[in-house]
Amino acid sequence: MQVPTISLATSQTHGRAAIVDEIRSACLEHGFFLVKDYGTILPPSLPDRTLDAARTFFALPEPTKRACFKADHIWGGYEPFKALNLDPSNKKGHGLNEGFSIAPPYHLTAWPGESTLPGFRDTLSEYHAAVTELAKYICSLIAEGLSLDAGYFEPFFERQLAHVKLAHYYRPEDQENEEGLFGAAPHSDWGAITILWQDQIGGLEILESRTGQWIPVNRLLLY
């Protein structure tokens, strides 16, 4: 299966209606698609700056990270290693990862202090705002593909609870030989769409339901 790649840039030969049709087809056929040419909404340097900020955070000592503990599911903050199980039916469903979630600005996030990580909060807040705008734009295209007004979904997402999550996947040496473990257990995300940006290592796979085959996916994915 080839995951479709859709350009969000418009031109005389590739207008908004064409993009709407491509996204509609991708959603109906695959449920996943890659996007490119989104730089007018998400500045090209911002995702990589965000990844750099994530690497710096996860390199901090464990006690420093735990001082930013996420105390409530609505809040943002640090999620320790194997804190979440995306497949409760599987006792090994706790993913081999740690995370840091950034809540919308009208909810609390347990940020590290500026003296600990200079610029971390500013970079992640900028990324959250930009990805939120990209999500709104994608949702407007999906709405039109359903023969709805472009702004149809917006009232449903006033003061929405979507988080940006930084995820650090790793396997400690003492678990090298343990079978049946995942970076993140197989799951379906909740919410309207997910925007996922990977580094060059990758690791994301999607399930082709018709064949049962797992398909590797690189870089930015929307579904």
Whether 16 has a pLDDT exceeding 90, the answer reads yes
The average confidence (pLDDT) of the chain is 87
Cβ-based neighbours of 74, under 8 Å, separated by 6 or more: 103, 107, 161
Q: Within 13 A of 100's CA, how many CA atoms are on the CB side?
A: 27
3-class SS of residue 25: helix
pLDDT, tens digit, 9 for 90 and up, residues 129-149: 999 999 999 999 999 999 999
Give the pLDDT mean for 182-208.
Answer: 82
pTM for the structure as a whole: 0.88
Q: Measuring CA to CA, how many Å separate 196 from each of 10, 86, 222?
A: 23, 17, 6
The token pair at 95 is 């993913």
**Least confident piece of the model among 2-11, 97-106, 167-176, 207-216:** 167-176
Q: How far is it, in rounded angstroms, from Cα 120 to Cα 89?
A: 36
| Better pLDDT: 180 or 89 | 89
Give the pLDDT mean for 27-46.
Answer: 89
3-class SS of residue 142: helix
Crossing angle of helices 16-29 and 120-145, rounded to 10°: 90
How much is the pLDDT for 131? 94
How much is the pLDDT for 223? 46
Cβ-based neighbours of 79, under 8 Å, separated by 6 or more: 70, 98, 99, 100, 101
| Confidence grade of residue 176 (pLDDT, cut at 50, 70, 90) | low
| Confidence grade of residue 173 (pLDDT, cut at 50, 70, 90) | low
The token pair at 78 is 């640090």
Domains and CATH numbers, the chain: 5-222 (2.60.120.330)
pLDDT, tens digit, 9 for 90 and up, residues 57-115: 999 999 999 999 998 888 999 999 877 777 777 776 677 889 999 999 999 999 999 99
How much is the pLDDT for 222? 53
How much is the pLDDT for 99? 94
How much is the pLDDT for 186? 78
Q: Are residues 35 and 6 in contact, defined by beta-carbon separation less than 8 angstroms?
A: yes
Cβ-based neighbours of 155, under 8 Å, separated by 6 or more: none
Place of tokens 């909810």: 107
